[in-house]
Structure 1
């Protein structure tokens, strides 16, 4: 929420006259016709009726904005927000203000929801999208940070006194900033270019304020939903190294169907090949999942990897299990079929833990009413699997992948590993059928013609 009086302070600044019938009028105390529109709205605090006031105005030496203010007469809950009335600018903008006096605390600040505010002297950062857009002052930015930190202090004092005392000390430092005993710096960085810090000397230069315009990075463009526009502006011969980037795209959570995002990265596994790692996180229900896809084609031969587990250190070996891979542990007469657990890039210990969780989650085996003999066998299996994971039982771990896209780390690479056996074999007709290769035709296609031409 903006500091009290922020909008009134903005309205007190003189501005130029607007033409007749102009939708956005300058902020001016002289203009009696500039009245906000009032709309009856639902209060999200008590669910009774309140009033939203909308003011379409032009900030002098800046641009048009929409200021909205909600107030509920029943529960006294209030909220203010500001939105840019224009489009996203061609370049991002960064304002660096040296605050040296109390007058600097009264400078107007337009901070959009995608802007980041920082005070380097205190290592304070207000991340993008953590607050709504606001029309306030420098002092208001500090007050909002203090209010946000104080909000959960009663709970922290009850659960973690040490953390609460450290935050209380930091809040004290923030409040001291408003006394301006020593200079500090406020940085407002907005990739959309729609934030603003007032220059009280405009149109003359302000020596305390540095305004920097910059070209957005691909990550910032993606955050603003401008991936397509940013890519079109790049030279045709520009080649990006995707190994250095984590790509992100929006999706829906498979558990609760709420909007979520998936991170994707191309990784080169030493002495193997490139793979694509994808991780999905849902902020609504907390669901997390990760999956690995091969970055290359299906190999000409299948691969069978056999590891003899003899030492607890074997549990730290990296494992890439593709979704076409079967896993066997002969000593336990156990086989995990193709497609189970999906693609995984983890350690041997992590894969054994996932197998154990898969077995324990099955309601027909270890649920409320299983067959006693079957439940006993599965409990015995889980116990032996735990002994293997802890290095107290020797066993063979077999990965059979007809697509040839699975991997188990050779800790002696590039030398041979005495406990690791890698075999290549020709796939059977049934295995090719499972991979969809029998009906796949890639030869005989000419430019402009169909198959066989």
Structure 2
């Protein structure tokens, strides 16, 4: 029996590997004996494989030693290193901002510019903004009694700095909380997920040579950086009549499964790569779309006015760089949310409803807030009215800086009276996200 077959058989026997957090059930975890680095006796490490909503799969580990009482915890991403690094900039202006969940990978640097404070990469951490501040204060307070006896001046300065840190929790004035992670696997919670977060800015960037060395992508003696790999292999080959299949992991339960990939020509649009995954273990189905013709010279903004239930059956292509809006519901999806999708208008609305309601474990159970749960349920009910065709007159707006998104024009080749298409010039920030500002296509050899 092959290794993949053994993995799949184990997954089918034991169920999904990564499970949603369910407040009503005890989370399954694995216990292993491990060495305590404090007293060098045997302690216990507990591992829990779980999902963080609107983020990814993670491994949470907790160590405790019954001999000396030492305790420790850590979080690791269960996914690969992302194609680009990420900078998360949060303006902390209210008490609820202190309660936002924060995932810090072991390559993330955390800083608070107003205090000129920066914490270098350490072990992975799952906490809140307030928890990060508390851990920083605890770290500064270590060895303070000894320091006061040996170096009173330094100890006094540290006490003064700790006082400034503690005042951050009182929110006398807003402050900036920054996370810079070259691996792209850090995260700050958006409390109003699927809507734009006015207090959080997410910037993705291309790693430099030193960062790629730090992550182990390049050897230590490398002298030249690498560019993100372009998906040109499928374009160069003549694969229009062939379906490629490769092994991957289920995006829902992470069990081994097969992914099918095919090049498709969309009428009146362009060629795209569609990847479809069906998991035999949990039954999850997923598809992802990649542009087969690269980034367009201009971005595109498409607005469809739903005036008839038949509009729900229009084909819709949302690339992984595209944002979506429904102004009548005050819904705004940030660019890249839900990934690339080739579906229908009804299908994309169903995906949004599923992500927000049915697949969000934090709106159920005793620990959920009734106000948040009621708002989410009310919003999902309004979405269902559109999906069922009972509510019309709303607008579906796709905004894609890469120009690789599309909504079917049922009047083609004539203009569609219910749809407007606008091509626009990208600004600097949009080009930066797409990696175009540093791209040199002429005289690059010199």
Task: Choose between structure 1 and 2 for higher RCO, CA contacts under 8 A separated by at least 6 residues.
Answer: 2
When normalised by structure 1's length, the TM-score is: 0.45
When normalised by structure 2's length, the TM-score is: 0.46
* Structure with max Cα Rg: 1
